[in-house]
């Protein structure tokens, strides 16, 4: 048996080994320096992001802490003084719970179904066909790829968050640049619940028993025109922020070796296997997205509803549909301007579009309740404006935050809300002006 003596490895030998190992040198980051990671797009390496960034620090005790405390106390005091503190808290919790059970679970069901449908459309090439057919229309009008038409259709048939199920699919995202993907939130919300709004508004009748068909379509046309303007405005902002060439699909999924305009990626297996896999994958993705919108819907919609609802006939009880009625008071104060811009005959009318800030379905309910109690009277101008503003806003304050968060573009939320607020007002003014012009011509 031979004895083999193994010399000890010293520190200097280890350093020499590391210096001679080129692979190690390429992957090891220098000490006390952040590791740089290259982001690869379809064309080339375009940017480098610092992974280990230093956290942003502020003083433990600063002025903003006292300002925040003052604002929170002031808000609670305002609600508590009018409603009673216990009633205000109970109404807040009960309203949020009602939104969760009546609205969020409904949206979750829609998103799951639409997620499965979106995955089927992507798997079997329907989205590719839509991109080819509608590209000549969508690009010059909206500045978006033809695949945007599928987002409009899915939102029109269901609700705003349905667009997220498409945007979550990498096969769909590849048709977009990153700055275009951010605009999907505005486009999807513009046409959200469109079918329900149109059908409901056409079901209302005049005093003579006629339907408001043509004012409804005037309102829809106002939405279409305004959506083009708002989309272009949003694109101008997102393009500056994200750049014109950044792809919507990032990371390893962005590395494709084929032309997405000519080919598409599909699952392995036969037709039935691919269909079942697509349905289950899409539904599972829908569950994740549906749960992700819960915070935004509950927080924002609860605030909007408590600002919109007033004191019940039997005094405050801490139940749902109770609030301080600030928004209707604001409508009364702005009544002369609202009559000139939107043709509203009474201050009660302003409650409809303002309720649409939180929910289009709730806004339609306000119309039905107003007609039943005799506080609201419908005219061609009112119907067109209600159609335009309910459809365009469609509860955007309760969904925009969560939708932009799901797209991982939270920094664009403020711009999306600003442009959508302006868009709803413009759509209402445009609808009123067109109806007035038509009536003048008749």
User: CB under 8 Å to 205, separation ≥6 — which residues?
Assistant: 211, 212
Q: Are 69 and 75 in contact (CB under 8 A)?
A: no
Would residue 74 count as lying in a domain?
A: no
- Single out the residue of 374, 78, 342 nearest to residue 334, CA to CA: 342
Task: Tell which wins on pLDDT, 133 or 94.
Answer: 94
pLDDT at position 2 over 60: no
The whole-number pLDDT of residue 26 equals: 44
What is the mean pLDDT of the segment spanning 196-210? 81
Would residue 358 count as lying in a domain?
A: yes
Q: At 43, is the pLDDT very low, low, confident or very high (cuts 50, 70, 90)?
A: very low
Would residue 6 count as lying in a domain?
A: no
Would residue 77 count as lying in a domain?
A: no
The whole-number pLDDT of residue 421 equals: 93
Would residue 24 count as lying in a domain?
A: no
What is the mean pLDDT of the segment spanning 339-364? 79
Q: How many domains does the chain have?
A: 1
Question: What are the Cα distances from residue 245, in Å, to 41, 65, 249, 427?
Answer: 9, 40, 12, 32
The whole-number pLDDT of residue 35 equals: 40
Would residue 391 count as lying in a domain?
A: yes
> Residue 368 belongs to what domain range?
86-441
Would residue 281 count as lying in a domain?
A: yes
Residue 96: its H or E element: helix 85-99
Would residue 169 count as lying in a domain?
A: yes
Distance of CA 232 to the CA centre of its chain: 17
Greatest mean pLDDT among 26-35, 53-62, 278-287: 278-287
The whole-number pLDDT of residue 238 equals: 93
* Mean pLDDT across the chain: 79
Q: At 252, is the pLDDT very low, low, confident or very high (cuts 50, 70, 90)?
A: low
pLDDT at position 20 over 50: no
pLDDT at position 231 over 70: yes
Q: What burial letters (b/e) apply to 356-385, b meaning 16+ CB within 10 Å?
A: bbbbbbbbbebbeebeeeeebebbbbbbbb
Share of the chain above pLDDT 90, in %: 24
pLDDT at position 195 over 70: yes
């Amino acid at each position: 048996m031979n004895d083999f003596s193994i010399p000890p490895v010293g520190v200097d030998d280890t350093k020499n080994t590391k210096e001679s190992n080129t692979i190690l040198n390429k992957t090891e980051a220098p000490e006390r320096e952040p590791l740089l990671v290259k982001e690869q797009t379809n064309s080339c390496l375009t940017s480098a992001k610092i992974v280990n960034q230093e956290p942003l620090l502020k003083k433990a005790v600063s002025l903003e802490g006292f300002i925040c405390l003052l604002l929170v106390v002031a808000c609670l005091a305002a609600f508590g003084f009018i409603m009673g503190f216990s009633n205000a808290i109970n109404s807040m919790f009960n309203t949020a719970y009602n939104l969760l059970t009546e609205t969020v679970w409904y949206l979750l069901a829609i998103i799951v179904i639409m997620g499965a449908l979106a995955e089927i459309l992507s798997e079997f090439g329907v989205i590719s066909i839509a991109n080819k057919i509608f590209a000549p229309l969508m690009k010059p009008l909206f500045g978006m790829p033809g695949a945007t038409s599928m987002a409009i259709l899915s939102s029109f048939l269901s609700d705003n968050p349905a667009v997220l199920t498409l945007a979550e699919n990498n096969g769909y995202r590849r048709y977009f640049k990153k700055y275009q993907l951010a605009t999907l939130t505005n486009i999807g919300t513009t046409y959200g619940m469109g079918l329900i709004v149109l059908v409901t508004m056409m079901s209302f009748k005049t005093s003579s028993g006629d339907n408001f068909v043509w004012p409804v379509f005037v309102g829809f046309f106002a939405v279409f025109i305004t959506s083009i303007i708002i989309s272009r405005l949003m694109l101008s902002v997102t393009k500056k922020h994200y750049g014109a060439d950044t792809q919507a699909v990032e990371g390893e999924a962005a590395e494709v070796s084929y032309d997405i305009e000519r080919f598409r990626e599909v699952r392995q297996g036969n037709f039935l296997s691919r269909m079942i896999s697509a349905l289950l994958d899409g539904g599972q993705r829908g569950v994740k997205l549906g749960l992700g919108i819960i915070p935004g819907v509950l927080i924002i919609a609860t605030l909007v509803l408590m600002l919109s609802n007033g004191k019940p006939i039997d005094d405050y009880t801490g139940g749902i549909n109770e609030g301080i009625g600030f928004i209707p008071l604001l409508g009364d104060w702005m009544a002369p301007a609202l009559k000139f811009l939107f043709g509203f005959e009474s201050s009660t009318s302003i409650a409809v579009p303002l309720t649409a800030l939180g929910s289009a379905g709730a806004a339609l309910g306000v119309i039905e309740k107003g007609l039943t109690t005799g506080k609201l009277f419908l005219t061609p101008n009112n119907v067109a404006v209600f159609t335009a503003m309910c459809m365009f806003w469609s509860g955007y304050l309760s969904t925009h935050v969560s939708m932009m968060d799901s797209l991982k573009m939270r920094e664009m939320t403020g711009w999306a809300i600003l442009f959508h607020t302006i868009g709803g007002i413009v759509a209402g003014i445009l609808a009123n002006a067109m109806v007035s012009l038509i009536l003048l011509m008749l």
